[in-house]
Amino acid sequence: LRQSLDKTRRNIVNQLKSIVGQGPLNQAAVTEIEALLLQADVGVEATDYIISTLQNKLRQEVLPAEEAIAYLKQILRDMLDAPVKKSNKPIFVPEKETLNVWLITGVNGAGKTTTIGKIAHLAQKSGYKCLIGAADTFRAAAVEQVRIWGERSGVQVIFNPAKNADPAAVVFDAISAATARETELLLVDTAGRLQNKKNLMDELSKIRRIIDKKAPNAKIESLLVLDATLGQNGLRQAEVFSQAAQLSGVVLTKLDSTAKGGVALAVVQQLGLPIRFIGAGEGIEDLRPFSSYEFVEALLN
Ligand code: GDP
């Protein structure tokens, strides 16, 4: 993880550390920190919050450099953990011996297919009975790609070879298969067309209705896959999806190829959604369950 955040850390965080380490903040230091955080794509809202919280503390006591950094880390961890505390699920794992359905949403190119392959691999390795439903039927290549990832991870893929097959019908079949096989985690790939918000909403709500009807006791999660390299621009996409999909969490991909790692804080602050996984490479092992502690340590150490 530390290596994945290299770009973010090298560009910004080292400078931030040296400023905070100089004691009480004068206006010049505040301006400098503000610029650094915005450069890391932390976003205006989250940046204001971080600075004012830090500033309040430093007004009350003079902290030696090390303690100021520790306090800054605490602020960031608390921000990242806020939505998790609300949902009372600190570690994100599927429940055992029950059907968990995770809808994987996001625009094309964000890394949805890759993420499904990685999660399937991780779940399989951790002893879960896993299945994938290829419900992104709009792009023929998407089904093919999911099948390749299924093979790599050793997880079976339920799909319909017909072009433009009904995604809800694929989900119906996938749930039948999951129920028959006592599957614990069903990962559902969904279409990522942002251009037509109404279609997207209709499709996702139809899929949810099928799940509610066919598997009323399933634990449903709706994860948005977000490309970290897009920084703040990705957040705009996220807003459209959060209107369409009743999102419950975010997977932040491509953290290894951006200096915009700070977007994790903007995601949490602006969307109020927890980050559940981090993608840090193109390989099957390059996925980590999100831990605020690990993330902040990797960023500020
Ligand atoms: P989809 O269209 O959302 O299904 O996106 P894909 O899963 O096909 O991924 C799009 C591109 O991003 C591919 O070239 C992936 O290899 C790449 N990719 C996905 N996740 C990551 C990641 O965490 N790090 C890096 N560096 N590349 C990634």
User: How many CB atoms are located within 10 Å of the residue 151 CB?
Assistant: 12
Residues 253 and 225: beta-carbon distance below 8 Å? yes
Other CB atoms within a 10 A radius of the CB of residue 3 amount to: 11
Distance CA 116, CA 102 (A): 10
Of the candidate ranges 17-21, 124-128, 286-290, the one whose mean pLDDT is the lowest: 17-21
pLDDT of residue 60: 84
Nearest CA to ligand 1 atom 28: 282
Q: Indicate whether 236 pLDDT > 80.
A: yes
| pLDDT (average), residues 27-55 | 87
Span from the CA of 11 to the centroid of ligand 1 (angstroms): 24
**Minimal CA–CA distance to 265: which of 256, 257, 255, 275?**
275
Burial of 154 (C-beta count, 10 Å sphere; 0-12/13-18/19+): exposed
Residue with more model confidence, 5 or 142: 142
Q: Which range has the worst mean pLDDT, 29-43, 69-83, 181-195, 260-274?
A: 29-43
pLDDT band for position 161 (cuts 50, 70, 90): confident
The predicted model gives 192-200 an average pLDDT of: 75
In whole angstroms, give the CA distance from residue 152 to residue 295: 28
pLDDT for position 158: 97
- What is the ipTM score, two decimals? 0.99
Q: Mind listing the pLDDT tens digit for each residue in 149-160?
A: 999 999 999 999
- Answering whether pTM is above 0.90, one says yes
Which bin fits 158, alpha (ψ -120 to 50), beta or left (φ > 0)? beta
Say how many Å lie between the CA of residue 280 and the centre of ligand 1. Answer: 10
pLDDT confidence tier of residue 129, bands split at 50, 70 and 90: very high
Q: Which of 114, 132, 145, 284 to mutate to test the pocket of ligand 1 (most atoms within 8 A of CB)?
A: 114
Distance (angstroms) between ligand 1 centre and the Cα of 136 equals: 16
Ligand 1 nearest-atom number relative to CA 225: 3
Atom of ligand 1 nearest to the CA of 287: 23
* Phi, psi (deg, nearest 5) at residue 252: -100, 115
* d(CA 285, ligand 1 centre) in Å: 13
Tell me the mean pLDDT in the region 184-194.
Answer: 89
Q: What is the pLDDT of residue 87?
A: 58
Nearest atom in ligand 1 to the alpha carbon of residue 108 is: 2
The protein residue whose alpha carbon is closest to atom 16 in ligand 1 is 282
Is the pLDDT at 46 greater than 70? The verdict is: yes
Nearest protein Cα to ligand 1, atom 20: 111
Q: Which residues are near ligand 1 (CB < 6 Å)?
A: 106, 108-114, 192, 253-254, 256-257, 279-282, 286
254 CA distance to ligand 1 middle (Å): 7
Rounded alpha-carbon distances, angstroms, from residue 267 to 82, 115, 148? 12, 18, 30
Q: Which of 7-16, 35-44, 111-120 has the lowest mean pLDDT?
A: 7-16
In this prediction, residue 202 carries a pLDDT of 86
* Pocket probe mutation, ligand 1, options 139, 282, 286, max atoms within 8 Å of Cβ: 282
Cα 13 from Cα 173, distance rounded (Å): 48
Beta bridge partners of 188: 103, 133
CB neighbour list of residue 98: distance below 8 Å, 6 or more residues apart: 184, 217, 218, 219
- Residues comprising the binding site for GTP? 106-113, 189-193, 253-256
Q: What is the pLDDT of residue 13?
A: 66
pLDDT top residue among 22 and 279: 279
Please state, in angstroms and rounded to a whole number, the distance separating the CA atoms of residues 95 and 48.
37
Measuring CA to CA, how many Å separate 220 from each of 150, 190, 278? 21, 14, 20
pLDDT at 39 over 90: no
Q: What is the pLDDT of residues 86-118, one digit of tens each?
A: 655 556 788 888 999 999 999 889 999 999 999
- Candidates 290, 244, 298; CA nearest to 267 is 290
Expressed in angstroms and rounded, the spacing between residue 255 Cα and the centre of ligand 1 is 11
Binding-site members are: 106-113, 189-193, 253-256
- The rounded distance, in Å, linking the Cα atoms of 17 and 21 is 6
Name the phi and psi angles at 130, rounded to 5. -125, 150
Q: Locate 128 and state its tokens.
A: 């879960």
Supply the pLDDT for residue 111.
Answer: 95
pLDDT greater than 90 at residue 275: yes
Q: What pLDDT, on a 0 to 100 scale, did the predictor assign at position 251?
A: 96
Alpha-carbon distances of 160 from 149, 164, 267, rounded to whole Å: 16, 9, 34
